[in-house]
Amino acid sequence: MSSFLEQINADIKEYQEQFKYIPNIEKDEWAFNYWVLDKLFYEDEELIEEKIIDYRDMGIDAYEIYEDTKEIYLIQNKYFSDSTPLSSDYVKNDFLVRAITALENGTYKKSEELQKAFSRLKEDPDFTVYLQLFVTNDIHNEEADRYIHIFNRDHKNYIARIYYLSDIKNRYFDEIEQIRKNISVKIESINKGTILKLNTENYKLENVIDARYVLTPVVSIFRMYRDSIEKSYPLFEKNIREYLGNKGVNSGIYRTLQDPIDRKNFFYYNNGITMICDSMSSIFTQPSQYNMNAYFTVDNPQIVNGCQTVNTIFEFLSNIPPENLEREFKDSFVMLKVLVINREDEAKIDLYHNIVKYNNSQNNIDEKTFVSNSAHFQRLQKEFESKGFLLLIKQSDKNQFNFKYNTTSKLRERSAKRLNRFQLKEDKKVSDFFIPLDKLLQVINAFTAGGYIAYTKKSQVLKFGSDVYDNAVNFIKNNNNIDALLDLFCLYKKSELTKKQEGDLRAPIPYYLIDFFAKYECKNRKPELIIENLDSTDKILEIVEQYKKITKNYAKKYYKDFEIEYNQMIKKPIKYDMVEELREYILD
């Protein structure tokens, strides 16, 4: 069994201990559905259960709906042993046909929410459905993979993919584990005239690095990425990987490549790709039928902008038979900017990092790795650790902290005073001190914007440039008080623990508690009042008890007035007039 599968199994066991009240959680194969939605789609725990359909599911184990980007994910999970192969018949008939046909016909009965969303979006030209199958071993089925390629080639708005265990691991860690080595790749173009070279020596340009602007066929980009994967070379600058997690490929780029007519306009639609390399060769010519008559080589390339473009080109062109690639895509080009920088030269290090930074600052980047390298999060991580709490900026932080702390004695020593004040349990595992970054940002949004935002916008909290991301980051920057942040998070943890201890399972509602605490105790969300209101155990217990009663009665009254159950209620805006009425009654 691989170490990563062992990690999945350990996570599943933790779910089974923490969420005993969830039906079917004791079954490992069902809990794997929970793991996928939690770890790969960053769904909030309160909402995961209702998005799992498994058992007699008509080809869908779980789903995600993103109304803002007009995307639906249909998820199938196969919790297999190391020796169980994936059935090609299952992929062909169930995974690729059964569920999508029912949804198209309006006859899918297992989830009313999913069918309504599909029916509402299906006529929109920007609507994209991602069919994703997660398999917990690496037994590749070539016939099944071929069915996937054919399906993707033939269906305009649907994109299917199988994630085997290694693929799941790469997605989980947001990076491909590659060994850095030297590599030389070929960059092609129509002819020498479609390669613009900025020669600093000939043109006597000062402070200008050698560069080329190349009109290059998408096939050349595809082959470059394919070769880098085969040679385990890290083509993408690690700090700025755009192609991540739950948003998959860029559907607009994908559909352009899919259309035999529109793909000729690819160059005009796309912003292009920026590459940094150590050196590049002279320009040579070669015989070609398909617009690849000129080429040069580059050494040790790194893509610093356009990662999503490169990945989407690779994703779609992988579906095309190799012998047809050049002919079918002979008129599809992308602009490639190649910059020569010696990354071993200390004088060029700042230039290199600034090129990475500024080439990405103009774009709407949906990627956790870029976020993880932001200076303020790194500072926060260091300061949290000094107080006994481990902020997880990226998934690999778990392994690094587990390696760093053989025992929890130092962490317990640093955090004991705060944990005792909040009457949180004495933590015994390193993982008990973890604070996931997305969870911290959710808590901050509950304080600043309300419980409704915290529950419904989780998928955007790590999206660079989103409102909820910016809101949380600005809060951290403007309120440079680590103790206040940790106290606020511990209040959230106390509300979670109380809910489990009471056996109520629904009260207090954690993000509602943070919301109401901010609105009432902190006088309309003033962060400077956090520490004052949480400086003693008596105050903390009083706040938790008060809002346990209020949120419990709020859920009851909401159902009585609107006949809407809890899981749907937390996706609706909060009725603060009802909260204030209940609060006055309970305080009296």
Residue 179 counted as domain residue: no
Q: Do 193 and 243 share a domain, yes or no? A: yes
Query: Which of residues 337, 363, 389 is at a domain's end?
Result: 363
Q: Is 436 inside a domain boundary? A: yes
Classify residue 128: in a domain, yes or no.
Answer: yes
Higher-pLDDT residue of 93, 395: 93
Residues 89 and 165 in one domain: yes
Q: What is the mean pLDDT of the chain?
A: 84
Instruction: Provide the sign of the torsion angle of the four alpha carbons 500, 28, 160, 254, taken in this order.
Output: positive
Together in a domain, 30 and 163: yes
pLDDT tens for residues 124-145?
888 989 999 999 999 998 899 9
pLDDT in tens, 175-201: 444 445 678 999 999 999 999 887 655
- 326 and 425 belong to one structural domain: no
Residue 331 lies in a domain: yes
Choosing from 148, 173, 198, the residue where a domain stops is 173
User: Is residue 128 domain-shared with residue 275, that is, in the same domain?
Assistant: no
SS3 of residue 392 by DSSP: strand
Residue 448 lies in a domain: yes
Retrieve residue 447's tokens.
């304080």
- Report the domain count for the chain: 3
Whether residue 387 sits in one domain with residue 321: no
| Beta-strand relationship, 195-198 and 211-217 | antiparallel
Q: What is the pLDDT of residues 512-565, one digit of tens each?
A: 999 999 999 999 999 999 999 999 999 999 999 999 999 999 999 999 999 998
403 by Cβ neighbours in 10 Å (0-12 / 13-18 / 19+) ranks as exposed
pTM of the full predicted structure?
Answer: 0.68
Whole-angstrom distance, CA of residue 398 vs CA of residue 431: 8
Looking at the fold, whether 330 and 406 belong to one and the same domain comes out as: no
Backbone angles phi, psi at 272, to 5 degrees: 100, 180
- Asked if 238 and 103 sit in the same domain, the reply is no
Q: Which of 8-22, 275-289, 387-401 is the most confident on average?
A: 275-289
Q: Which residue has the higher pLDDT, 228 or 208?
A: 228
DSSP-based three-state secondary structure for 371: helix
In a domain, 583, yes or no: yes
CA dist 219 and 225 (Å) reads 10
Residues 209, 358 share a domain: yes
Segments forming the whole domain that contains residue 215? 184-363
Q: Are residues 120 and 46 in the same domain?
A: yes
Q: Are residues 378 and 511 in the same domain?
A: yes
Quick check: is 506 in a domain?
yes
What pLDDT is attached to residue 177? 43
Q: Is residue 369 part of a domain?
A: no
Place of tokens 């920026």: 274
Of 328, 363, 398, the domain-final residue: 363
Please check whether residues 113 and 231 belong to one and the same domain.
Answer: no
